[in-house]
Chains A and B, each alone.
Chain A
């Protein structure tokens, strides 16, 4: 069955430190991949997406993600985290003709 897995439920980093959030997918073929962010009490906002081509994708708010076919991964990174990045992050995937499937989410906490 198609699935998206985010192995880390919670991550805490210090402000200014680098960040990597993990995402693995299980699909028959390479799906389209997304990262969304959800601030407290808000809906989901699209950070970035990967359809094809360059495996390093740039997004909003200084985030980037790297697609690795050999590892079925699409990890989200940021070189220097700001306190305002504290939120929940969702990886999602979709194949043409199907529905968007979300991972379980990773809650990011930022220490001052």
Chain B
């Protein structure tokens, strides 16, 4: 099925470890986003990309890095995991205009990360 695919679905990390959350979309969307979701806080934007080779910080970028070498892929990297990064992470994509046109953002099913 077309859409946004995230892997892994669950992960437990020890403090100081690193990992990459993978995100792939097959809808040829230009824009891709990473959000984290914490209880009662809604979704906060970590990083976004408006096209291959272009990325920018969102509201809560500290402790994360991204790259966008292709239109399809937008991995999120955690270099030194901290307990504050325990969260559910969502990748999303959209056509131009930040999702105003068409169907808005398409979300992946999320990655639940626990840092212990």
Chain A interface residues (CB < 8 Å from chain B) = 4, 6, 9, 32, 34, 41-46, 49, 51, 90, 94, 96-100, 102-105
Contact = CB atoms under 8 A, between A and B. Distances in A.
B105 A100 contact: yes
B90 A43 contact: yes
Given A43-B90, A46-B105, A104 B42 contact: yes
Interface of B: 4, 33, 35, 40-45, 48, 58-59, 90, 92, 97-100, 103-105, 107-110
Contacts of B40: 9, 104-105
Given A43-B110, A102-B35, 19 more contacts: A4-B42, A42-B109, A43-B90, A44-B92, A44-B107, A45-B107, A46-B103, A90-B42, A90-B43, A94-B98, A96-B97, A99-B45, A99-B48, A99-B59, A100-B99, A100-B105, A102-B44, A104-B40, A104-B42
B109 A98 contact: no
Contacts of A49: 104
A103 B107 contact: no
B90 A44 contact: yes
Nearest to B100: A32
Q: Say whether chain A's binding surface is mostly helix, strand, loop, or mixed.
A: loop
Nearest to B110: A43
A44 B105 CA distance: 9
A109 to B, nearest CB: 15
A1 to B, nearest CB: 11
Given A43-B4, A43-B90, A90-B42, A99 B58 contact: yes
Contacts of B108: 43
A44 B92 CA distance: 9
B100 A103 contact: no
B105 to A, nearest CB: 7
B98 A104 contact: no
